[in-house]
């Protein structure tokens, strides 16, 4: 079974919301057409922290070294990737105090800004994203 390693970010804004990505509906990407966190797969041998730094620059022109950010937790779970079972090993990061006017979308269809008071049961939100957001909302970090 293939193992997918990568990093995702909970991006908290200056107006007390967090940012999600409406993913393109391209069959060759993970969870096409779903709403998910920004981030992605690590290149071979790439550390989690370097992965999230690279992914957020590529996707949003967001240099997280200019913000307060930290590793939240790493989760391992079984999932589906390109219609085949896989294992995922994902590091989760929290980036704080990001101003919307400082970012530029380069991947995905749109940026979605939500409050943590929202119900995450919307089926358009990917199952991984729902799990991560619930864990964060119930953590001491929130």
Query: Which tens digits make up the pLDDT trace of 7-27?
Result: 999 999 999 899 999 999 988
Query: Which tens digits make up the pLDDT trace of 68-80?
Result: 999 999 999 888 7
Domain range for 70 is 2-137
Residue 142 lies in a domain: no
The whole-angstrom separation of Cα 117 and Cα 87 is 30
Q: Are strands 38-41 and 110-114 parallel, antiparallel or unpaired?
A: unpaired
State the pLDDT at residue 141. 59
Contacts with 26 (C-beta within 8 Å, 6 or more apart), sequence order: 32
Domains held by the chain: number: 1
Task: Compute the average pLDDT of residues 89-105.
Answer: 95
CATH at residue 123 = 3.90.79.10
């Amino acid at each position: 079974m293939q193992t997918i390693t990568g990093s995702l970010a909970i991006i908290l804004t200056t107006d007390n919301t967090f940012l999600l990505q409406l993913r393109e509906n391209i069959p060759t990407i993970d969870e096409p057409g779903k709403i998910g966190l920004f981030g992605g797969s690590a290149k071979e041998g790439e550390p989690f922290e370097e992965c999230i730094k690279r992914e957020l620059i590529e996707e949003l022109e967001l240099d997280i070294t200019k913000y307060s950010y930290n590793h939240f937790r790493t989760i391992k779970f079984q999932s589906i990737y390109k219609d085949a079972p896989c294992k995922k090993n994902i590091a989760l990061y929290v980036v704080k105090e990001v101003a919307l006017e400082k970012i530029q979308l380069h991947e995905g269809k749109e940026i979605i800004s939500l409050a943590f008071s929202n119900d995450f049961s919307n089926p358009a939100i990917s199952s991984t994203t729902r799990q991560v957001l619930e864990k964060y909302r119930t953590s001491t970090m929130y």
